[in-house]
Amino acid sequence: MIREGVIRRINGSLIIAEGLPDAKIGDVAYIGGQRLIGEVVKISGNEVDLQCYEDTSGLRPGEPVVNTGKPLVAELGPGLVGEIFDGLERSELELWRLTGPFIKKGYRIAPLRRDKKWHFIPRIKVGDRVTEGDILGIVRETSVVEHRILTPVGINGVVERIEEGDFRVEEPIAEIRLPSGEKREITMVQVWPVRIPRPYKRRLPVTDPLFTGQRVIDMFFPVAKGGTAAIPGGFGSGKTITLHQIAKWSDADIVIYIGCGERGNEMAEVITNFPQLEDPRTGKKLIERAIFIANVSNLPVSAREASVYMGVTIAEYLRDQGYHVAVIIDSTSRWAEALRDLSGRLEEIPAEEGYPAYLAERIAGIYERAGKVVALGGADRVGSVTIMGAVSPPGGDFSEPVTSTTIRYVGSLWALDTELAYRRHFPAINWLRSFTKYVGLLDEFWGRYDPNWKIYRERALEVLEEASRLEEIARVIGEKALPDEQRLILLVSEIIREGYLVQHAFHEVDTYCPPEKQVEILKVIIGFYDLARPLIEAGVPVDRLRELRSVMELLRLKEKKTLEEIMEDSARLKTELESLKAEYEVKAA
């Protein structure tokens, strides 16, 4: 039955239709003669308000609106990994091939390719009883990702037929007899409403850190697998590059990068670089475990909202297969702007800075979909979704609504500092404003490399905090006026900042720092501090320490390729300090 209404008014991306029968909030509708995709967001009597996910220029009142009666869904199956989608899960590579570089309005294609065949290998046999979430078989999607075909949610029964072979995603691979006696054909493709979290057996406490290869994050402000993190910062503070680094080097099984309202050239850089990068975990190309959703700034604003939900839904589907998935959203501020845009057009009462009153609910709803869970199915299959979102506060003001609300719901905060960025300190994460709730997870991880790692971390943070206080005094009276014990703290703080926290994203060696190297460098720096303090107390001027070549070499330990080189530099440092100590003991005698 065709459920058709007509356009009465048009207000930018908001379409007011009349006479649309059986409409429900969340229904997808086709708008106008070009059949643009829209979603029902408000119903008032005979009037239905829809947000249109495509450019509405050229629409006019009187054109038809057709209600599909179905919500906005994600299509899930083989063909997701390595693909670039827009916010509605249309392949942008395929759209480019069909329409050229500028996407035409109303152009619809299937999210998953219908012409490609995948080799399906069963993992069960005829006569087996299966429940929702059980693995029916596998498809080798890339050389590093094994796509596990799951029994759809709500399906339980006995396998009547299943076979190995090459199939398109819409072709039946199995047949299951339900308890009612009905037989249901199963294909490799599933659909799921993007605004509804996918179900699971039970949620687990997070226990493992997501290792990123970025020292300031991994050692000082880690995020857990299944946790959440926010990275707020003003323009030019390095949010996107930091998230690029996490996307490239994190030890998640699969990375989903959502470019939500960001500049097209930044997204182009990600998409251009990823296919060339080698994965340190597998030795393969990083593109073989990545999915991109590119909804950049010149695309319709309302589609930004859909892009975030789409990416998280795909992540949950991969989580249900037993993978650890990292979702990177760049940025949630642009997503929140889409909420504000629609709220204003709906004439809702605005809250702070024009954002809707339900902003906190929507932000919490996104971050709450992160987690480590036991997936549906007979076997206990554990997977996780880690959500990391950039926030772009105007002028770097962390008190603005999106930033302040986000901080309430995340487990880690990587607070970017514009002043650090101006000093070319990258990642420009301010160690005094950042925090993490996941430090307790690190004992087992870092304990494999050095049981004293926590001592090094705590002492480094103490030095940085004390140095910050001393720098305020030094600005008034000058550093030379400080006693040498305090000047040593400033020296060690400088070494920690420049030799440890600063990391060069484009340096061949420094772009990724393995865990054993991270802990060894920090151990050497704290070891220097412990050796230098008795020298200062014995009367050695701090300026003599600065003159030592091995002390300055501490700033370059991060560029060493092997632990052996770091240990050699550490031995030379100890030798020079011993010589300096002997020299002053002779003078004192």
Q: What would the 3-class secondary structure string for 279-314 be?
A: CCCCCCEHHHHEEEEEECCCCCCHHHHHHHHHHHHH
pLDDT of residue 1 exceeding 60, the answer is: no
What does DSSP say about strands 47-52 and 14-18: parallel, antiparallel, or unpaired?
antiparallel
Cα–Cα nearest to 178, from 130, 135, 137: 130
pLDDT of residue 463 exceeding 90, the answer is: yes
Q: Residue 456's pLDDT is what?
A: 96
Q: Residue 396's pLDDT is what?
A: 85
Banded pLDDT at 560 (limits 50, 70, 90): very high
What backbone phi and psi angles, to 5 degrees, belong to 297? -65, -25
CA–CA distance, 315 with 288 (Å, rounded to integer): 15
Q: Residue 457's pLDDT is what?
A: 95
Asked if 521 and 450 touch (Cβ cutoff 8 Å), the reply is: no
Tokens 């589609």 belong to 303
Q: Quick one: average pLDDT of 497-521? A: 94
Angle at 308 between CA 74 and CA 340, to 5 degrees: 125
pLDDT of residue 282 exceeding 80, the answer is: no
Q: Residue 55's pLDDT is what?
A: 87
Q: For the chain, what is the largest distance between any 2 Cα atoms, rounded to a whole number of angstroms?
A: 103
Asked if 542 and 487 touch (Cβ cutoff 8 Å), the reply is: yes
Cα–Cα nearest to 204, from 385, 329, 361: 385
Q: Quick one: average pLDDT of 374-382? A: 91
Two tokens, residue 142:
């890339």
Tokens 């920090």 belong to 522
Q: Residue 587's pLDDT is what?
A: 66
Tell me, rounded to whole angstroms, the distance of Cα 520 from its chain centroid.
28
CA–CA distance, 283 with 227 (Å, rounded to integer): 27
pLDDT of residue 279 exceeding 90, the answer is: no
Q: Residue 298's pLDDT is what?
A: 74
Q: Quick one: average pLDDT of 317-322? A: 97
DSSP 3-state assignment of 326?
A: strand
Q: Quick one: average pLDDT of 126-150? A: 94
CA–CA distance, 435 with 220 (Å, rounded to integer): 8
Better-scored residue on pLDDT, 302 or 430: 430
Tokens 């707020």 belong to 232
pLDDT of residue 571 exceeding 70, the answer is: yes
Better-scored residue on pLDDT, 268 or 50: 50
The mean-pLDDT minimum among 234-243, 451-460, 577-586 falls in 577-586
Q: Quick one: average pLDDT of 465-482? A: 92
Two tokens, residue 581:
């100590």
The residues that bridge with 429 in the sheet, in sequence order, are: 416
Q: Percent of the chain, pLDDT > 90?
A: 72
Two tokens, residue 421:
């960025």
Better-scored residue on pLDDT, 568 or 302: 568
| pLDDT tens-digit series, residues 152-167 | 999 999 999 999 999 9
Give yes or no for a cis peptide into 427 (omega within 30° of 0). Answer: yes
pLDDT of residue 43 exceeding 70, the answer is: yes
pLDDT of residue 169 exceeding 70, the answer is: yes
| pLDDT tens-digit series, residues 403-418 | 999 999 999 999 999 9
What are the structural domains, with CATH classification, of the chain?
3-71 (2.40.30.20), 113-188 (2.40.50.100), 202-438 (3.40.50.300), 453-588 (1.10.1140.10)
Q: Residue 442's pLDDT is what?
A: 85
Which residues, 6 or more positions from 148, have their beta carbon under 8 angstroms from its beta carbon? 135, 137, 138, 321, 322
Q: Quick one: average pLDDT of 241-259? A: 91
Q: Quick one: average pLDDT of 475-501? A: 94
The mean-pLDDT minimum among 193-202, 316-325, 469-478 falls in 469-478
Tokens 């979603």 belong to 39
Q: Residue 281's pLDDT is what?
A: 73
Q: Quick one: average pLDDT of 189-210? A: 95
Asked if 321 and 384 touch (Cβ cutoff 8 Å), the reply is: no
pLDDT of residue 558 exceeding 80, the answer is: yes
CA–CA distance, 251 with 212 (Å, rounded to integer): 6
Banded pLDDT at 586 (limits 50, 70, 90): low
User: Given its phi and psi angles, is residue 314 left (phi above 0), alpha (psi -120 to 50 degrees) or beta?
Assistant: alpha
Tell me, rounded to whole angstroms, the distance of Cα 295 from its chain centroid.
15
Q: Quick one: average pLDDT of 272-294? A: 82
Better-scored residue on pLDDT, 100 or 488: 488
Across the chain, mean pLDDT equals 91
The mean-pLDDT minimum among 373-377, 408-412, 544-548 falls in 544-548
pLDDT of residue 589 exceeding 60, the answer is: no
CA–CA distance, 155 with 151 (Å, rounded to integer): 7
The mean-pLDDT minimum among 105-114, 322-331, 530-539 falls in 105-114
CA–CA distance, 505 with 400 (Å, rounded to integer): 29
Measured CA distances, 543 to 462, 480, 574 (Å): 22, 10, 17
Which residues, 6 or more positions from 444, have their beta carbon under 8 angstroms from its beta carbon? 207
The residues that bridge with 237 in the sheet, in sequence order, are: none
Q: Quick one: average pLDDT of 456-484? A: 93
pLDDT of residue 392 exceeding 80, the answer is: yes
Better-scored residue on pLDDT, 22 or 299: 22
